[in-house]
Amino acid sequence: MDLRHTMKGRRVMAAATMTSGLLLMVAGCGGSGDDAKPKASSSAPASTPSKGDGRNGQSPTASADKVLATAKDGDITVTIVSAQRDQGGFVTVSGQVTNGGSHSWLGANWQSEETELASNGGSLSGASLVDEKGKKKYLVLRDTSGRCLCTKFSLLRPGDSTSWFAQFPAPPNGTDSVNFQVGSMPPASIEISEG
């Protein structure tokens, strides 16, 4: 009986603490009435917004600190900053694409030749991971509607860059080195990290 009252008291205290925390958080989110004045922030520099859009307008952000590989085809440069194996049985590869040319680019030559993925337009639907040691090629994953689990590009103007991502089935555990291939880009060797 004593243990039951102790547990009930702990639950009441936990609920009171969470309620207090939520009230403080809501109070902290309230404005001070001077929203028209710009506020300076000293935490981190503002990042340049992405010009392209991924699926649903979002794509994982590319980290400028670490570059796994870079590949170039004409005026288009692909930088790979992450290749992460997730517990769900897939690998997410992400990075940045830069248009160094004088004409706009849409990524039309990167789309898949598969009929099921034809509606993806200029996207990474034609990308693949190649496991040379295991002699396997992994194609971009897709949902039940035939949309690739990858970035769909909007027009990339000369000098612009945008973040991108693509998801693939994960190679077997122990296979950490694969080649990323898209369009006529030369294969880029990347190391897969655990997520």
pLDDT in tens, 98-119: 999 999 988 877 777 676 666 6
Lowest mean pLDDT among 8-12, 46-50, 167-171: 46-50
Q: Are 190 and 138 in contact (CB under 8 A)?
A: no
Q: How would you classify residue 189: left for phi > 0, otherwise alpha for psi between -120 and 50, otherwise beta?
A: beta
What does the pLDDT read at residue 18? Answer: 47
What does the pLDDT read at residue 22? Answer: 40
Q: Which two tokens stand for residue 2?
A: 């004593």
What does the pLDDT read at residue 98? Answer: 95
What does the pLDDT read at residue 153? Answer: 83
pLDDT in tens, 137-152: 999 998 888 788 888 8
Q: Is a pLDDT exceeding 60 seen at residue 56?
A: no
- Cα separation, 40 vs 2, whole angstroms: 54
The residues, any chain, with a CB within 8 Å of residue 85's CB and separated by 6 or more, are 91, 170, 192, 193, 194, 195
Please give the domain boundaries of the chain with CATH numbers for all domains. Answer: 55-194 (2.60.40)
What does the pLDDT read at residue 109? Answer: 75
> Residue 35: pLDDT band by 50, 70, 90 thresholds?
very low
What does the pLDDT read at residue 25? Answer: 42
Q: Which residue has the higher pLDDT, 30 or 47?
A: 30
55-62, long-range: CB within 8 Å, 24+ apart, which pairs?
55/147, 55/148, 55/149, 55/150, 55/151, 55/152, 59/94, 59/151, 59/162, 59/163, 59/164, 59/165, 60/92, 60/94, 60/163, 60/165, 61/94, 61/163, 62/94, 62/95, 62/96, 62/163, 62/164
Q: How far is CA 115 from CA 58, 109, 118, 126, 140, in A?
A: 25, 15, 5, 11, 14
Burial of 125 (0-12, 13-18, 19+ CB in 10 A): buried
Q: Which residue has the higher pLDDT, 19 or 95?
A: 95
What does the pLDDT read at residue 157? Answer: 94
0.85 exceeded by the pTM? Answer: no
Q: Is a pLDDT exceeding 70 seen at residue 16?
A: no
Q: Is a pLDDT exceeding 70 seen at residue 24?
A: no
pLDDT in tens, 121-138: 678 888 899 999 889 999
